Amino acid sequence: MNVEEEVEKLKVEIQRLGTKQEDGSVKVTFGVLFNDDRCANIFEALVGTLRAAKRRKLLTYDGELLLQGVHDNVEIILKPPVTATATA
């Protein structure tokens, strides 16, 4: 699986495990993602996939490197999908 595929799967898992916000974004904590059995089976390197998605500006979280236990309460926010707007 390449990085693009992993990032797309990460988005799906964040939507499954997270809470949708009023602005269309989805919020989940690192601990919930890290401790989920399905995520553990999908992602060989969850932290690396999170960093790749952050570099692509698809999600945000505080810090660069997330570690189990220490950063379990860090919120990961999947940005809302960008919708094309019609221009006149």
Work out the end-to-end distance of the chain between its first and last CA atoms, rounded to an integer number of angstroms. 41
* pLDDT score of 64: 87
pLDDT of residue 84: 57
Q: Give the residues of the chain that fall short of pLDDT 70.
A: 84-88
> Which residues, in sequence order, are CB contacts of 72 under 8 Å at separation 6+?
29, 30, 31, 34
Is the entire prediction scored with pTM above 0.75? yes
Q: What is the pLDDT of residue 46?
A: 93
What six digits make up the tokens of 22? 């009023």
Report pLDDT for 85.
58
Determine the Cα–Cα distance for residues 77 and 54; give it in Å rounded to an integer: 10
Helix (H, G, I), strand (E, B) or coil at 61: coil
